[in-house]
Amino acid sequence: MDDPTGLGALALRRAMDVGRLTAAALMEATLARIARVNPGLNAIVALRDPAALRAEAAAADRVPVAARGPLHGLPMAVKDLVGVAGIRSTWGSPILADNVPAQDDMLAARLRAAGAILIGKTNTPEFGLGSHSYNPVHGVTGNPYAPERTAGGSSGGAAAALAARMLALADGSDMMGSLRNPAGWCNVYGFRPTYGRVPVDPVGDTFLHQLATDGPMARSIEDLALLLEVLAVPDPRLPHGRPSEPFLAALDRPAGRLRIGWLGDWGAAWPMENGILSLCRNALDDFPDATVEDVPPPFAAARLWDSWTTLRSWAVAARLGVFHADAGRRALLKPEAIWEIERGLSFSAMQVHRASVVRSEWNAVAAGLFQRFDLLALPVAQVWPFPKGWDWPKSVAGRAMDTYHRWMEVVVPASLLGLPTLAAPVGFGPQGLPMGVQLIGPRGADAAVLRAGQAWHRATDWPGRVPPAGVA
């Protein structure tokens, strides 16, 4: 077989099962591509010893077809916010620069159990804070379509590795657009599942903080569904779990006539760089078998933002407060992390309660919208991929940004409610930079959102437009 790295995960699995491809050959091609492409992008970090990887791939070829898992023989690099046994796992922080876990976190363990070969990590911002993948441990990740620009974040390394054909599948995580923004900016798909769909390790509180979730990233909807089935197996130790579903088989059913509500810039509440709204809105007009309706702002944007930033800072403080409490480690945190932690530590219980009341009110309004629409749609970002030397955009369309994440306000409506959201590519702007749209469904409607994505992918296949030759 010619270079297999351009194939998707399902195609690779089928080729291995019928003997047209071996895991060893796939690993060799993957290592060669990483050696050729990754130095210019810095998407994959902490790459394991090639000899050990070749040995694991050879062992995978000896497993009978009937005993192979759904990800058998697929090289995967795990986002560097997940602990992986035997692989340097830093969370992008100098505090954990030399951390090598003795055991896998749940996500990594599930990938291994499904047959994936874990080759290293994908780059991320420090502790996942910010939608731009740079940190003092591994450096900055570039965009395969414009390497001098950002790949987004916090799953920027994952998205760039997919777009550059170094990986066929990747895991991402998403609190405030962390897999939606990189997917849109790297011309691939990212899926934020309904909160609770993908379990995490039951460590610490498992009831209160419902903002972040892991999810799959890929170049096709079928591959998204494949990885989601591996990750979305409920764990009885967690209170918000959902039953397993056959997401891949669900794609065989037609999406049906779709009603899409376009929310745009939320009635000019959010500044947008030129060309983003028109590209995304025009793309929706091409959505197969769908009607699109422009929707006025259904809720006060300022109230959503206040609720979100309170609950987010509270969650960040709960997670990272242990580092802040130690003066030596606090000095190693980036300013944005310190700001979030100190803000979260300052809140009273009633402030958090009031923020959750606003979230509850928005949930009731959103439920009404989903009586009228199957999907709600928004751009994945308010800016085009910016120069990778920046830390974050200080202004958007002439409006100053008052926090390090204000320029990503467009992702808040879905994040606040934990709604299933597909980041789908919609093409390229005048500078050749990719952009995507968020397709948001009601809670629990993950399969329906993926079916809509499958209809879009079959009609467009934007990820099939590979990065320029010589770049990736």
Look at residue 222 and tell me if it is in a domain: yes
pLDDT at 98: 98
pTM: 0.98
The tens digit of pLDDT for each residue in 195-245 reads 999 999 999 999 999 999 999 999 999 999 999 999 999 999 999 999 999
Within a domain: 469: no
Domain count for the chain: 1
Query: What is residue 471's predicted lDDT score, i.e. its pLDDT?
Result: 66
Torsion of CA 212, 216, 221, 227, to 10 degrees: -130
Is the CB of residue 260 less than 8 Å from the CB of residue 376?
A: yes
Which pLDDT score is estimated for 469?
62
Q: How far is CA 169 from CA 73, 91, 352, 409, in A?
A: 12, 20, 37, 27
Beta-carbon contacts of 110 under 8 Å, excluding residues fewer than 6 positions away, are: 230, 231, 233
User: Domain range holding 179?
Assistant: 4-464
What pLDDT sits at residue 2? 85
| Res 472: pLDDT | 60
What CATH number corresponds to the domain at position 274? 3.90.1300.10
- Residues identified as active-site: 79, 154, 178
Report, in this order, helix, strand and coil percent for the chain, each rounded to 5.
40, 15, 45
Give the pLDDT confidence score for residue 470 in this predicted structure: 57
Q: How far is CA 101 from CA 201, 324, 345, in A?
A: 14, 22, 29
Say if 471 falls within a structural domain: no
The pLDDT score that the predictor gives to residue 6 is 96
- Bridging pattern class, strands 213-218 and 146-150: unpaired
Whole-number Å distance between alpha carbons of 163 and 225: 18
Q: pLDDT tens-digit profile of 448-459?
A: 999 999 999 999
Reading the block at residue 270, the tokens are 């959010």
Low-confidence residues of the chain: pLDDT under 50: none
In a domain, 158, yes or no: yes
